[in-house]
Amino acid sequence: MVQGQRLEDDEKLKYVTSDWEGKKVEVEEATRRLAKSQDELNQLNITVRQVQEYNEQMKAEIQVTRRATYKAEDHIKQIEEMKSKQDLLIDSMNEDIKRLTERKALLDAQIAAQRQETEAAMATLREASREMEAIEFEKKQLMMQWRSSLVGMQRRDEALQNVQKALEEQSEAAP
């Protein structure tokens, strides 16, 4: 019975250890995904900053072009065409900014979800660790009880042998 319980406890320990290792792998994978997403987010932030700086440069160039328009009436048409091209470029860049901002929002949401997954996995690992400690403690308690039972059985066996020996001696002594 004790050996059966021990085998059952060993199976439970194997299951908990296996489950813990699986959760550990999941946490490591989530951490890798989080780091990758963070790198992508950093790259996107750099790109957004560069696009914004480029936008500011374009705005400054447009202002210079407008001042030049007042100085040279014969170049108005050329300057307007250039401005139109720049406006298209700015619109394109604004679309890029919008697209990149949406992508950044998506990545932020993914990072938040991954953080939650990581926290949940860590909580599961902590719970599994507590359960393993409880199982280990219970195993030690059962081992102590088992050893105590063995000592008790040995004493009862010795007492029984002494009683049997005394009965045999009494039988032999009786006429």
For residue 173, give Cα distances in angstroms to 18, 77, 92, 162, 168: 66, 141, 119, 16, 8
Round to whole Å and give the CA distance between 161 and 166.
8
Round to whole Å and give the CA distance between 141 and 84.
84
Q: pLDDT, tens digit, for every residue of 81-113?
A: 888 999 998 999 999 999 999 999 999 999 999
pTM metric for this prediction: 0.36
* Closest of 70, 100, 69, 96 to residue 84, by C-alpha: 69
Map out the domains of the chain as residue ranges. 2-173
Q: pLDDT, tens digit, for every residue of 22-76?
A: 888 888 898 999 899 999 989 989 999 999 998 899 888 888 876 776 676 666 6
* CATH of range 2-173; options 3.90.105.10, 2.40.50.140, 1.10.10.10, 1.10.287.2610: 1.10.287.2610
Q: Is the pLDDT of residue 146 over 90?
A: yes
For residue 42, give Cα distances in angstroms to 38, 65, 104, 132, 164: 6, 35, 9, 40, 86
For residue 96, give Cα distances in angstroms to 48, 53, 91, 93, 153: 9, 14, 8, 5, 83
